[in-house]
Structure 1
Amino acid sequence: MKLHASKDETLSRKTLPILIWVRVLVHILAGVFTLSLIFPFTSQSQKDRKIQQWSQRLLLIFKLKLVVTGLDDVITTPSLFSANHISWLDIHAINACKPIRFVAKSEVRSWPIFGWMAKQLGTVFIRRDSARHARQVVEQMAEVLKTESICIFPEGTSTNGVQVLPFKPNLFESALAAKCPIYPLSIRYVCEKTGLRSDSPAFIGDMGLLESMSRVIHEPGLLVQIHFLQPYRAEISGGSDRKQVAAYCQESIAQTL
């Protein structure tokens, strides 16, 4: 009996990841269908609801539990959110609790399927090697922030989440120009059983997207913790300098990690 049980357990461990890959593929195809045939004929509120539901379902497939704090204190007017960056999952985790537009590096546009989906969702792409293009993106963001919220990852790269890299201040200029609230947003991935930080979702170095997805699949039972922090207040700090805003957001996030 023990021998059979051991074989069954081994078979289950082998087949479970395959089933998850199938569910991921089906879910992505469903997203492509929605973006292609449903989004063009729906209102923005309906789009946001579908984005949120799709993202929640994706986290469920990967067996990630979402824990959100501070969202009730966020005002409903268009705002700029600045977050630390760990994984390609960050965007989906944020969308699962608050659908929003993002700024992403231009390389994301070339990702298979996900790049196309990001473009359809209104992602603003930025070339990190071009100061001129960055200025154009700031102007574009300032215009968008008049009616919609945007989230940025000011570290400029993803990390393993141990610490927060210095925030690049350029994109914060858009929120100062639009005179909108600026919220720090911390992201952390931990093992639910131990409460310890997990490296599995980290999308760093030369790692490919499929490799990163495989790492998450093989470590079920993760929590993704999202914490909306107190906004930057120019009237309290005595000014509206983008470097000061970037430093405030970075330090606020670092304290939560």
Structure 2
Amino acid sequence: MSPGWHSEAEPDPIQMSGFGWGLVVLRCLILAVLVFGGLVILLMVRLFERPFFGMHRPITPYITQFVCRNAFRIMGIGFRSSGDLMKEPGAVVANHSSWLDIFALNARKRIYFVSKAEVAKWPGIGWLARATGTVFIERNPKKAREQTLLFEQRLKADHKLLFFPEGTSTDGLRVLTFKTTLFAAFFSDQLRDLMSVQPVSVVYHPPKGEPKRFYGWWGDMDFAPHFLKTLAVLRQGSVELIYHPAVRVSDFTNRKVLAAYCEDKIRSGHATGRAGRETAD
């Protein structure tokens, strides 16, 4: 994980009871069967899907979606969403708070993440990312044209690409300023008239009695302790996805204007989602 953002306050201490450890073992076993069983099925289906459909994936994204949706059921985390899904070719942009974002955004919509090239080399995670069709890019201006052509190929294959414009994850209590460079490829001659962009606000509501940033994963936090802490809670919180209306790239004059628009929509939805839950509580 990129250590791009750090909180001024230290991460909350992790405390787990014996019962919590029991939940961890049970949920880990069931999750392992779901995730790795789903991966085996996905790879087997892909053996037949690839020769007949090439870059198109008419079947395997449904397997990924099934795994991610049921992962929340196993973990006990509530899941809800609002808004219509984009049907036009294009990209989805969302705020980034946790490794749970991957499950959440895949659970509602069949998407393909755009990730930095280093992730492909991460043990385990890199293999899963490649199997599910993640697009890996290098932050190198010399690769810009090559990556634009790759985006064009994927979009023409009806792939919805998912970007995290903040460039890092946070504690889930804020939305960082978007990096406009990530929007540059959208304005190429090949993509500008082809693409639409849909902003999505991802909002986490903590378990009752836990800190508001319970699900946040940022800075130098290790994955394993955060994963175990999450599974150890009996009565979990929830995640909420707010899908804002998609907009055409060609309706914006440049990447900065588009990035600012998406940031404003996501920031507003994030604030509304958090405020709504706090009022309900």
Normalised TM-score (structure 2) = 0.77
CA RMSD of aligned residues (A): 2.4
Structure 2 residue 137 is the aligned partner of structure 1 residue 126: yes
Q: Which runs of 5+ in 2 are unaligned?
A: 1-16, 271-281
Residues 198 and 99 (structure 1 numbering): CA distance in 2 closer, same or farther, change over 3 Å?
Answer: farther
Q: Measure, in 2, the Cα distance between the counterparts of 1:138 and 1:197.
A: 41
Task: Point out 4+ residue stretches in structure 1 off by more than 6 angstroms.
Answer: none
Which letter maps to 1:46?
I
1:93-242 matched pairs, under 5 angstroms: 93-128=104-139, 130-134=140-144, 136-146=146-156, 147-177=158-188, 178=191, 179=193, 180-191=195-206, 193=208, 198-219=212-233, 220-233=235-248, 239-242=252-255
**Residue identity (%):** 30
Match of 1:253 among 266, 270, 276: 266
Contact 1:175/1:182, CA 8 A, preserved across alignment: no
Query: Which secondary structure does the structure 1 equivalent of 2:239 belong to?
Result: strand
Instruction: Specify the alignment match of 2:25 in structure 1.
Output: 18
User: How far is 1:233 from its partner?
Assistant: 4.7
**Stretch moving more, 134-143 or 239-248:** 134-143
Normalised TM-score (structure 1) = 0.84
**Stretch moving more, 208-217 or 97-106:** 208-217
Contact 2:206/2:215, CA 8 A, preserved across alignment: no
Alignment deviations for residues 101-143 of structure 1 (CA, whole Å, 9 cap, x no partner)? 1101233223332221111221112334x33345533332233
Which letter maps to 2:113?
F
Q: Which runs of 5+ in 1 are unaligned?
A: 1-9
Contact 1:86/1:202, CA 8 A, preserved across alignment: yes
Instruction: Specify the alignment match of 1:45 in structure 2.
Output: 58
Alignment deviations for residues 174-196 of structure 1 (CA, whole Å, 9 cap, x no partner)? 333322111111101103657x9
Q: Which has the higher contact order (CA 8 A, sep 6+)?
A: 2
Residues 134 and 161 (structure 1 numbering): CA distance in 2 closer, same or farther, change over 3 Å?
Answer: farther
